[in-house]
Every structure is written in structure tokens, then in C-alpha cells.
Amino acid sequence: MTRITLPAAVHIRLILGLVRLAGFAVEGAILDFVTVVLLVVVGVFSGFFGGMLGVGGGAVVVPILVVFFGLDTRQAVGTSLVMILFTALSAMLAYHAQRRIDWKIGIVGAFATVPGAAIGAYATQFFSSKSLAVIFGATLFLVAATMLRRSFRKVTIEKPEITITTASDLLPKKRIWRRRIVDVAGTVFEYDANVYSGLALLFLGGLASGFLGIGGGLIVVPILTAVVHLPMHLAVATSMLMMIFTSVSGVSTHIILGNVLIAYAVPLVIGIVLGAQLGARAAKRLRSLSLEVVFAATLLGIGTLLIISRL
């Protein structure tokens, strides 16, 4: 019992110490113990959600910081991106261990999302907190509605050892990348990736990341599945790789604009690192269609709540 209790106590003191050290970032205020605990819990939940569904968790955290913690929307966006960077790092390591990341597509896609994130972050200074919150909620609503409609129309054929997704035969073969990924469990993913058609849309994913404080997975995952033609599980894993580069770009710009509150980011990061690992493991046990439905339904509820609270 002693060996378990002492490290836990040390971890709690470390969390409080880090938050007290960073308290100056909120105009000299130091967060109380209850607030710190709540932020850690929010971090665990959003990390689990993000790691499981291939998003950074910003879709959950930004509305919570605005509605329940009273942060300015622009500060919530900037602070969320700090957390998302650690979400992506943690989940990416878990997915790398599962061998479900398409590294080639992820790195190429990052060249489109990175400049978009910087531009999106810079654009937040031209919008009021209220208008940015409404835009955020509307975006979640539209993305969720689109994914739900596509999920319920999809005809799936499941096989125990192989998942195959192919691009349209009408596309020129020189634009198609024939890909084959074998994960650690021996499952084979074979698909024709239409990378070039997805680059312009992936730029929009980066733009949304910097502008809305999300990892970009809300936009990137649907693009990777519907346009680039990655299987859902690989799209979730690969989006986490892209999210690392996207978040660094967006965070850098938000720091310059003064939108990052470190005192809030530290406990969120601590919670999200654990949550992302649990989420990545949970995703391995769920079917692709189940992932999409959970993803879309959650976004629909959060987007509606945020819009109602700001109107």
C-alpha cells in the first residue's frame, strides 16, 4: 500500500506546483485545488475522446473552458492547442506501437495543414469572442451532421483479417498511391490513396485547427476517409501524426497573440496524456462505423450546447 500511495501524493504535489509556478500567466491568479482537479478530469475525458476518435480533444475542451470556466473564446482556443499538442504526441506513440500510422501520407499531409494553422490562428484577432464561439459551434454541428448522414448510408463488409478500401477506378493511376499497412495484430489494410486531391482540403483542416483551437481531426479525419480513401482506423491514427505539426504551428502564433493561458494548460495536459493512451487502446476494439457514429453524435451535442449558450 505504501509503495502506491507515496508516488500518488508526489504526483499531486507536482501538479499543484506546476500550476502555481504558471499562475502568473492568468494575470497573477493562481488556480484553486478544485479548479485544478476539474481541469485534470476534463483533460482525461477529452484525451480519451481525442485518442479514440483521432481528434485533439479541442472540440470538447474549448466549449467547456468558455461555458463553465468563463474564458474568453480566443484564450480558450489558444490554450486548447497547447493541450492538443500533447494529445497528439501521446496518441501518436500509442498508434505507432499498433503500427497503424501511414507515415508517408501523414507527413505529406502536414505540409498542407501547417500553413493553414498559422493563418487560422492569426485570423482569430479579427473576431469577437462571441462570434468565434458561434462559428465554432456551427462548425461542429455541420461536421457532425455530415458524418452521421454518411455513416448511416455506408454499406460495410467486414472480414476478420483484412480491410480493403479502394479509390475510384476513374481516377488517373499516376495520382493514386497503392498502400499496404500491416498492424501489430496482423490485420492487413490495402487501399488506393488519392493524396493529391486531398491536399487543398487538408489545408482547410489546418485553418480550422488554428482558428478554432481544435487539432484539425474534425476536418482531417473525414477528408482522409472520404477523399484520400484511408480506412477509418488508419485515418484516426494518421491524423494524430499530422496534428503534431499542425498544433506547433497554431500554438506558436497564439503565443505571440497572447492567447495561451499556461495555468489552465498544465493540468489539462497532465490529464490528457493519460486519456489519449486509453482512447487509442479503446479505438482498437471498436468497428470503424461505431467510431464514426460516436464521433458525430458527440460533436452534434457539444456544438448545439455551445451555440445555445452564446446566443
201-210 CB burial, b ≥16 within 10 A, e <16: bbbbbbbbbb
Question: What is the DSSP secondary-structure string of 16-74?
Answer: HHHHHHHGGGGTT----HHHHHHHHHHHHHHHHHHHHHTS-SHHHHHHHHHHTS---HH
Q: What is the mean pLDDT of residues 214-227?
A: 81
Phi-psi region of 260 (alpha: psi -120 to 50; beta: other; left: phi over 0): beta
* Per-residue H/E/C for 290-310: HHHHHHHHHHHHHHHHHHHHH
Whether pTM exceeds 0.75: no
- Predicted local confidence at residue 135, as pLDDT: 87
Residues 6+ apart with CB under 8 A from 251: 78, 81, 82, 85, 260
Cα angle 96, 120, 133 (rounded to 5 degrees) comes to 100
Which range has the worst mean pLDDT, 9-13, 86-90, 143-147, 158-162? Answer: 158-162
Question: Could you tell me if 270 and 220 are in contact, meaning their C-beta atoms sit under 8 angstroms apart?
Answer: no
Residue 152 has pLDDT above 70, yes or no: no
Span 296-311, pLDDT tens digits: 777 777 777 777 766 6
| pLDDT, greater one: 48 or 121 | 121
Residue 284 pLDDT level (bands cut at 50, 70, 90): low
Residue 173 pLDDT level (bands cut at 50, 70, 90): low
Span 54-83, pLDDT tens digits: 666 787 788 889 888 889 989 999 999 998
- Structural domain boundaries in the chain: 2-310
Cα angle 292, 155, 183 (rounded to 5 degrees) comes to 60
Highest mean pLDDT among 83-97, 136-150, 153-167, 233-247 belongs to 233-247
Question: What is the DSSP secondary-structure string of 241-284?
Answer: HHHHHHHHHHHHHHHHHT---HHHHHHHHHHHHHHHHHHHHHHT
